[in-house]
């Protein structure tokens, strides 16, 4: 139930963030997030780049104790009938390098589904994102937080690695399935974005409500889902790293 809530919040956050006017949008989130389809349904012209080098996040369910420390499964695709349809074009390419796109050719970029965490050389990827954004263009992105990273290290008894986290500039975290992702504190993410000429508008956890709270409420009354989503959307934008994933919006200077 937590992941149903998670993706409902993600869809609502994206809908609120998208440009009000029809725009050219680059989506580097991959096929699982469906963010490109949502943007096209809202009337935008979307180029969705699917990277064969990135391991897609496999479906997962919340653990029994409700702590939610797993990759989110893909959301269910929804229908958007209240906007004129836009267009969605899909290509296969390396999202870490975008030589087929001209400078300043996009109004917005979406990097959902923790794309920047799965690109271990995050600096080069976000530099490409900044390059293709026009001045004033915006990017919406999610990354794994160091709260999640430290929990994963502790679960795998990686105590030596865990002790290095406070002083480490880059934290790469192994997952039980053998994959590796890069995790961030909010300040580290802000610095990364600022260094490539992006002005951070806000950074916040994807969800403020804990998985255990969400599971408890939805188990008792599934009809409470819309109210929980509204609660998330009305929460203050706090610059903290307590959530398992961080959501950020930044603007090209």
User: Which range among 41-55, 103-117, 233-247 has the greatest average pLDDT?
Assistant: 103-117
Residue partners of 172: CB distance under 8 A and separation at least 6 = 120, 180, 181, 182, 183
- How sure is the predictor about 84, in pLDDT bands with cuts at 50, 70 and 90? low
Token duo for residue 197: 């000429």
- How sure is the predictor about 243, in pLDDT bands with cuts at 50, 70 and 90? confident
> What is the model's pTM?
0.89
State residue 32's pLDDT score: 81
Q: Where are the domains of the chain?
A: 2-145+183-252
Contact 34, 57 (CB under 8 A): no
pLDDT per residue over 164-193, tens digit each? 998 899 999 999 989 999 999 999 999 999
Task: Answer yes or no: CATH 3.40.50.300 is held by domain 2-145+183-252.
Answer: no
Answer yes or no: is pLDDT of 136 > 50.
Answer: yes
Token duo for residue 25: 């949008």
pLDDT per residue over 32-62, tens digit each? 889 999 999 999 999 999 998 875 554 333 3
User: Which range among 80-84, 118-122, 158-162, 226-230 has the greatest average pLDDT?
Assistant: 226-230
Q: What angle do CA 20, 24, 28 make, to 5 degrees?
A: 110
Cα radius of gyration (the chain): 18
Residue that wins the pLDDT comparison between 106 and 235: 106
């Amino acid at each position: 139930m937590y992941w149903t809530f998670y993706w409902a919040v993600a869809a609502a956050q994206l809908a609120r963030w998208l440009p009000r006017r029809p725009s050219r949008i680059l989506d580097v989130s991959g096929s699982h997030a469906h963010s490109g389809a949502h943007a096209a349904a809202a009337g935008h012209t979307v180029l969705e780049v699917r990277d064969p080098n990135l391991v897609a996040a496999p479906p997962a369910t919340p653990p029994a104790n409700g702590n939610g420390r797993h990759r989110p499964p893909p959301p269910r695709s929804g229908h958007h009938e209240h906007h004129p349809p836009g267009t969605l074009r899909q290509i296969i390419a390396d999202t870490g390098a975008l030589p087929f796109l001209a400078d300043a050719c996009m109004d917005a970029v979406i990097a959902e589904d923790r794309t920047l965490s799965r690109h271990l050389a995050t600096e080069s990827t976000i530099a490409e994102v900044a390059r293709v954004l026009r001045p004033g263009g915006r990017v919406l992105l999610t990354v794994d937080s160091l709260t999640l990273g430290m929990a994963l290290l502790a679960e795998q008894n990686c105590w030596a690695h865990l002790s290095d986290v406070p002083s480490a500039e880059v934290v790469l975290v192994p997952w039980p399935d053998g994959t590796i992702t890069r995790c961030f504190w909010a300040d580290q993410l802000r610095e990364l974005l600022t260094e490539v000429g992006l002005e951070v508008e806000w950074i916040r956890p994807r969800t403020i409500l804990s998985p255990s709270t969400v599971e408890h409420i939805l188990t008792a009354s599934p009809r409470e889902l819309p109210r929980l989503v509204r609660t998330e959307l009305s929460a203050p934008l706090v610059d903290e790293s307590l959530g398992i994933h961080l959501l950020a919006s930044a603007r090209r200077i």
